[in-house]
Structure 1
Amino acid sequence: MLNKTLAMSDQEEQRTFSLSKQEKRLSMSFMYVTFISLFIGGLMGLLQTLVRSGTFSLPWGIGYYQILTVHGVILGLVLTTYFIIGFQYTLMNKTVGMSHKQRQTAWLGFWVMIVGTIMASITILLGKASVLYTFYAPLKAHPAFYIGLALVIIGSWIACFVNFRQLQVWKKQHKGEKSPLLAFMVVINMLLWFIATLGVAAAVLVQFIPWSLGYAETINILVSRTLFWYFGHPLVYFWLLPAYMAWYAIIPKIIGGKIFSDSLARLSFVLFLMFSIPVGFHHQLTEPGIDPVWKFVQVTLTFMVIVPSLMTAFSMFATFETTGRKKGFGGLFGWFKHLPWKDVRFLAPMIGMLAFIPGGTGGIINASNQLNQVVHNTIWVTGHFHLTVATTVILTFFGLSYWLIPALTGRKLTSKINKLGIIQTIIWTVGMTIMSGSMHIAGLLGAPRRSSYSTYGGTEQASDWIGYQIAQAVGGTILFVGILLMVYIFIQLVFFAPKGEEEFPIAEEEPDAEPTPRFLENWKLWIGLTIGLILIAYAIPFMDIIQNSPPGSPPFDWPIGNS
């Protein structure tokens, strides 16, 4: 074994574990919650676009911000978290295995999350927590909402430590060997999640729960928002990194290729861990009470995340081209033309990947101090979220589902379901292009976010926006059709598709790739550097906020903030 690299033989590289019935049942439990959430959250999104266009009024006294909260919480937090944890359990179980005790602990985490989800959902549906998914103070929800959020976070921490333990046990049994790439990626993502959720957990447990229960008369709003955005931006990368896992290590197998570079993939994930957390101030650029110097520091750190994103783009298109050339496809773009566009397992993630180009560009604009002033608090920001999370991430998750669900249920992805999946992907792409595109344009014209037609319908500028709001309703309607079709496909894959074995696509590394440097698995180094960057970015400004910001709730015209 080379002294400065991690070795793995060809036989070791292909070694995987069979998924037991109990492990499949565990992952599928998360998938059921995911697709129920997709339907409920999608319906709320459709109602939002209809209300915002002025073509529909909510019945039975239901409030606009009630459905807005359901949409954001159910899709932005519940759907994504449950899918990611279920998917990552499957990857870990397949690559490093799971013991009986670990599985029991994983079930405990699942049920804690379920209890928390039900508590928070009931309060929202009863109109007791119409505070949006950001739950900004001074808006106050019922205590059960915050307690429910705390339980969801605690349940997800249990999943974190199960994944950490899985890799630790594997490493003890395979000393000196390179850990499986997907297991490495899962642990990075769960490290990111655990470190980031410490902020929102502190806000919920120390500030919001005592305040909502009446034990505290006031709440320090700037502290609460700072803690939320310490979590809020890494949340975006918690969503994105499972998609990156698929792009790096699963899509190459689907197209008949190999991983371009194991080292580059690991390095990009390490950089995401380091640079996605200490950047929350770029969501607070217009808020008073934060020294502009520290805003500048965190904006600079935000742009560092562009580096691993560009590394990923390079790696993926290198994989595509290398695979195509090996198959004999000549010409400048022959390799691109002959990619498996008729395979929905490739098509959906590929469109998600392409959507990240304009999505990432919009993110650069949002994080730029000057350009942010143009789009701040407009529906442009909502359009950006729908390009990144609702297109890049969700389409990749859909693409994963076409082989993941059959692998967990013992059924086959038939040609008929594959065709339905292609239709669903096209419907989603068209609907999101119309809706997100009109949101971006309306945002540039000054249309506010978080507002219904009743809020701005009588304003002088409303006539400039209404056409784009109607376009959003059209796009939202198309998207809801796509949601219904995806739920139908899920039901087919779970209950009605023919029984059989579906491929679990995990790609191998290129045989002539450079060996992976040992330092890439130096967990103490990367965690230490991440904590160091967080302390540099937050320690001094946070102490300044605590010492100098008003202790009580400010007036209700306090600026809502960037996101």
Structure 2
Amino acid sequence: MSDRFIKIDRRDGKLAMAHIYVGFIALALGGLAGLLQVLVRSGTFTLPAGIGYYQVLTVHGVLLGLVLTTFFILGFQHAAISRTSGTYSSTSRLFGWLGFWVMLIGTAMSAVMILLNEATVLYTFYAPLKAHWIFYLGLTFVVVGSWLGGTGMIMKYAEWRKEHRGEPSPLLTFMAVINIVLWIVATLGVAGTVLFQLLPWSLGLVDRVDVLISRTLFWYFGHPLVYFWLLPAYMAWYAIIPKIIGGKIFSDALARLSFVLFLLFSIPVGFHHQLVEPGIDAFWKFLQVVLTFMVVIPSLMTAFSLFATFEMYGRSKGGSGLFGWFKKLPWGDARFTVPFIGMVAFIPAGAGGLINASNQMNQVVHNTIWVTGHFHLTLATSVVLTFFGISYWLVPHLTGRVLTKAMNKMAIVQAVVWSAGMSIMSGAMHAVGLLGAPRRSSFSTYGDAPQALDWIPYQVAQAVGGTILFIGIILVLYIFINLAFFAPKGEEEFPVGEVAGGAEKTPMVLENWKIWLTVLAALILIAYTVPFMDMFQNGPPPSKGFKVW
């Protein structure tokens, strides 16, 4: 059977689509909250019906940063594993569905509390801000549900390995398993602070909470969360885009090695989000800054591998000269062009990340809206545009429809609109952040800040960019609904790339989990054991906390 017509099992497709539906609903609601947020920041709009600015901010951050990403990623990874390693067993599928429903129940619980203004604690839900206990229980359900879904993935991977001893697993399956292992290890931190600190505290079982430990556990999770978002985009860039353009994967081994390195160096680095916080010795902050910069290595490996793939394809089509190959890329295909824009956006996004992680330069931008601008370049541009690009072939593949020429053109227009809006909004955030404008704050909370008037043009620019972005959200929702329900019936390819003929053989040591999990555990223990002991012995006194603004 032609590779083009290999279809994911209908039952696995329903599991994947259930996750993706929730993700796009979160995009619609979270995008609306984001529009309201930038309008309020401009000082020209007041929220109706007594809705609070920070309530809207929390809705935007939680729905887009946690709900959209987690549901879409799990849906995509279920589909990728089923496509490359074969149909799920009934047990793996059961774990997938259990995980979905537990996550959905948890999402509903947390969302209701936010809408009732009982959980306006922002995306980071930092103590000493206190939310209703149902919010924290809902978050626990979301984490546990993701573990259940991840268990189904790992079971399928183990089944494949058992049936194919001595062979490297399919590349997409390996990448998905690396990402779910990263997620499980990272969420141990947020599960710890929610279960043993925030939930008992919100229930009144304890009177105080240790803020420093709570924030440290959050950022143990919060930084690898960025890579949990990013690695599915890398999966598409490495293993799917080459097939879309008609090229080959430059190196299977290089792709796997980069994912192993991301697993090792993305978790024990949370202190670089806490560089200005007291209670953590400077040596341990510096150590984690060094470990943070190690992530540059797999990032550069990825850039090299991707552009080598593009150049090999372009030259095979007759491209000559230094950049002649660039013109030969399939710019009219939204499945390529939309993720490619995300790749390009990751260049300034990565540079901003190096500034944020720097022990010195972080002092300039810490807690300014520069950080928010960086966040929107990484997640809301590089990652989200790649997710849109994935959707343009994955949704019709799973629903038995096709990406029409009209929807393909609209998808490219959507990416251009999104890029224009993000350039304006994120650019303004970066610029006014350098002038000292705080993150998270609304125009009305600037008080007597003498430089507030200088920030007004940038706030207006953010509102303009945010409005354009919302138009982009409307366009992508229209495309999604069309591909899910109204596009012509047919068969859309789930593209999976093949490795170039001259590539080196993949060494099996890359799938020796005993080695990599041991190294990961050692790095985490080195980075966190002594600092945690110091926090327990010499940290600041616990806080009683307070409710929302």
Q: Structure 2 length normalisation: TM-score?
A: 0.98
Shift of 1:164: 0.9
2:17 to 28, 32, 37: 28
The answer (yes or no) to whether the contact 2:271–2:289 under 8 Å persists in 1 is yes
1:533 partnered with 2:511: no
Counterpart Cα distance in 1 of 2:342 and 2:221: 24
Displacement after TM superposition at 1:15 (Å): 12
The list of structure 1 runs, each at least 4 consecutive aligned residues, that deviate by more than 2 angstroms after superposition, is: 13-18
Q: 1:254 to 1:423 in 2, by over 3 A?
A: same
Match of 1:351 among 320, 341, 344: 341
Amino acid at match of 2:115: L
CA distance, structure 2, for counterparts of residue 146 and residue 135 of structure 1? 9
Number of aligned positions between the proteins: 545
Which residue number corresponds to residue 412 of structure 2? Answer: 422
CA RMSD of aligned residues (A): 1.4
Q: 2:158 aligns with which of 159, 165, 168?
A: 168
Match of 2:437 among 447, 450, 462: 447
Q: Which of 176, 185, 198 is the equivalent residue of 2:175?
A: 185
User: Given the alignment of the two structures, is residue 79 of structure 1 paired with residue 65 of structure 2, yes or no?
Assistant: no
Q: 1:432 and 2:425 equivalent?
A: no
Structure 2: distance between partners of 1:390 and 1:157: 25
Distance 1:137 1:107 in 2: 33
Q: Residue 81 of structure 2 aligns to which amino acid in structure 1?
A: M
Residues 355 and 392 in structure 1, CA contact (< 8 A), matched pair in contact too: yes
Deviation at 1:545, TM superposition (A): 0.7
Residue in structure 2 matched with residue 314 of structure 1 by the alignment: 304
Shift of 1:459: 2.7
**For residue 128 of structure 2, what is the aligned residue in structure 1?**
138
The superposition leaves residues 256-275 of structure 1 with CA deviations (integer Å, 9 ceiling, x where unpaired) of: 10000001000000000000
Counterpart-to-counterpart distance in 2, 1:117 and 1:428: 27
- Aligned equivalent of 2:469: 479
For the 8 Å contact 2:207–2:544, the answer to whether it is kept is: no
Partners of 2:193 and 2:113 lie apart in 1 by 19
Take 1:399 and 1:129, find their aligned partners in 2: how far apart are those partners? 33
Distance in structure 2 (CA, Å) of the matches to 1:424 and 1:17:
29
Could you say which residue in structure 1 is the equivalent of 2:32? 43
**Partner residue of 2:508?**
518
The counterpart of 1:203, out of the listed 193, 206, 210, is 193
Does structure 1 retain, via aligned residues, the 8 Å contact 2:30–2:63? Answer: yes
Within 1, Cα distance between the matches of 2:537 and 2:123?
Answer: 28
For residues 302-327 of structure 1, give each alpha carbon's deviation from its aligned partner in whole angstroms, at most 9, with x where no partner exists.
00000000000000000000111112
- Counterpart CA distance in 1 for 2:27 and 2:149 is 22
Deviation of 1:449 after TM superposition, in Å, equals: 0.6
Q: Secondary structure at the match of 2:360?
A: helix
1:17 CA displacement:
6.3
Equivalent AA in structure 1 for residue 57 of structure 2: L
Query: Which of 79, 86, 94 lines up with 2:83 in the alignment?
Result: 94
Which aligned pairs between 1:114-263 and structure 2 lie closer than 5 A?
Answer: 114-263=104-253
d(CA) in 2 for partners of 1:457 and 1:345?
Answer: 47
Contact 2:130 2:545 in 1 (8 A): no
Contact kept in structure 1, 2:106 and 2:140, CA below 8 Å = yes
CA distance in 2, matches of 1:170, 1:53: 54
TM-score (norm 1): 0.95
Aligned-pair identity (%): 67
Q: 1:14: how far off? A: 7.2
Cα separation, partners in 2 of 1:332 and 1:555, compared to 1, 3 Å: same
How many angstroms apart in 1 are the aligned matches of 2:449 and 2:227? 37
Structure 2 CA distance, aligned partners of 1:166 and 1:127?
A: 41
Residue 334, structure 1, aligned to residue 324, structure 2? yes
Contact 2:4 2:495 in 1 (8 A): no
Unaligned runs of 5+ in 1: 1-10, 557-563
Measure, in 2, the Cα distance between the counterparts of 1:372 and 1:256: 42
| 1:362–1:384 CA contact under 8 A, matched in 2 | yes
Distance in 2 (CA, whole Å) between partners of 1:18 and 1:50 is 45
User: Which secondary structure state, in structure 1, belongs to the residue aligned with residue 491 of structure 2?
Assistant: coil
Q: Does 1:493 align with 2:483?
A: yes
Q: Distance in 2 between matches of 1:317 and 1:274?
A: 24
Name the residue aligned to 2:374. 384
| 2:271 counterpart letter in structure 1 | F
Q: What do the CA deviations read for 1:481-535 (whole angstroms, capped 9, x no partner)?
A: 0001110110000111000000111000001111011211111101110110000
Task: Measure the CA separation in 1 of the matches of 2:334 and 2:4.
Answer: 27
Counterpart Cα distance in 2 of 1:524 and 1:26: 31
Work out which of the residue numbers 31, 38, 42 in structure 2 matches 1:53.
Answer: 42
| 1:104, distance to aligned residue in structure 2 (A) | 1.4
Would the aligned equivalents of 2:59 and 2:114 in 1 still touch at CA under 8 Å?
Answer: yes
Name the amino acid aligned to 1:433.
S
d(CA) in 2 for partners of 1:42, 1:24: 26
**What amino acid does structure 1 have at the position aligned with 2:502?**
D
Is the partner of 2:36 in helix, strand or coil? helix
